[in-house]
Amino acid sequence: MTTYRVLRSSRFVTVLAVLSFVFVMISQTSPGQLRARDAGVRVGSLSPGPLNAITDVAGVRVGHTTLTNGQSIHTGVTAILPHGGNVFRERVPAAIHVGNGFGKLLGVTQVQELGELETPILLTGTLSVWKVADALVAWLLAQPDMEEVRSINPVVGETNDGFLSDIRARPVLPEHVVHALTNAAGGRVQEGAVGAGTGTVAFGWKGGIGTSSRKLPDKTGAYTVGVLVQSNFGGELTINGVRIGRELTGQAATHSSKGTTGLTTKAVTKDSPIASHTGDGSIMIIVATDAPLSSRNLERLATRALAGLARTGSNLSNGSGDYVIAFSTATECRRRQGETSHRTTELANEVMTPLFQAVAEATEEAIYNSMFTGRTVAGFRGTVEALPVARVLERLKRAGALHPVSAAERQR
């Protein structure tokens, strides 16, 4: 069990492998977490998959590496692998939709041109993007049957975690990337302040990694759509149509004397409104589906994820990088190296609407989960508090927007 503590000197950053610290922290963010649905927040009308996670799409795996050191470092890497094979050798159709392009997403133009992913998707903090991409390329080149490869298009997304983490330290090393890739797994996905979500902020409260899924009824194909988000954006928090942000009281973020990067906060008293947030930040939205779709329909699917983002109160501000990466895991759509032609199955345009509904609902719920599972973090430039879930639920109950939770659901 390996994890990492980051040690800073005046001129450089040294990262030493140590035992148990970070993984103890990660394990504490997973068992017993109260996800939005478990608290009675029901989003939309479609049912989630068994895990209510992106990993409900068969074959999809997720891995995290979390880096923390006192108050100075809160960052990490999250890896999303479309299937269990070599993605470079067995590519999946994909598309990228840009809601607002203030970001450093790598690999965009080739995905747009060829309509396929040839690497896993990695998420991290803004100034670590290029280091993460380099490590991903090195890892892929070392895989079997890659000896003659001379071109790789790494897809690496980011959000700016520079309020809670010393982003200029750029502590992510190749072994952190390799750990996220090689430890990626199916099953339950850890959420909240973990991996690439360790230092993120959403609506002035602690953001992070969140995930959700939707399973279509048999009559509409029984396909699954799964979503994973790295939430680090703002606006006016809205849950199930209830404007929560303006009614929450208490201090959401506290200044230090060092200033902010992309996050506007103000000191507040106990009964003051939540600290203001410009909305500048970013969100990465990863969409997976087992529906057989081409890159054209995946781009249409990715576009509808923004409907779920908007429902949470996002204003897609000038300084926010809002990106959606969508891919299909359907085996009949994969593009295998060496083939001179591809015979694929494509759903008709007329049957896409249920998938559109599914991705909007799963995106909305994934964002709520990223906040419900958050924890208060004292960071580099100040403290960001966890969403006050009890007060949120009280307000939703008064508005009639809370669904009763059965005993069976509580035990799940």
- Tokens (6 digits) for 307: 């409907």
Q: Per DSSP, what are the bridge partners of residue 62?
A: 80, 185
- In DSSP terms, 238 is beta-bridged to 243
Distance CA 186, CA 288 (A): 13
Query: Among the options 56, 161, 290, 322, which is catalytic?
Result: 322
CA distance 190 to 207: 13
At residue 236's C-alpha, the angle toward residues 235 and 237, to 5°, is: 115
Is the CB of residue 201 less than 8 Å from the CB of residue 384? yes
Q: Which residues contact 123 (CB under 8 A, 6 or more apart)?
A: 77, 78, 79, 80, 156, 157, 158, 159, 195, 196, 230, 284, 286
From CA 168, how far away is CA 126, in angstroms rounded? 10
10 assigned to active site: no
Gap between the Cα atoms of 132 and 65, Å rounded: 12
| Rg (the chain; Cα; Å) | 20
Q: Is 247 exposed, middle or buried (0-12, 13-18, 19+ CB in 10 A)?
A: middle
Of 282, 295, 314, 370, which residue is the catalytic one? 282
Query: Of the listed 165, 295, 320, 370, which one is catalytic?
Result: 320
To the query of whether residue 322 is one of the catalytic residues in this protein, the response is yes
| Catalytic status, residue 30 | no
Tally of CB atoms within 10 A around 184: 19
Active-site residues: which are they?
A: 282, 320, 322
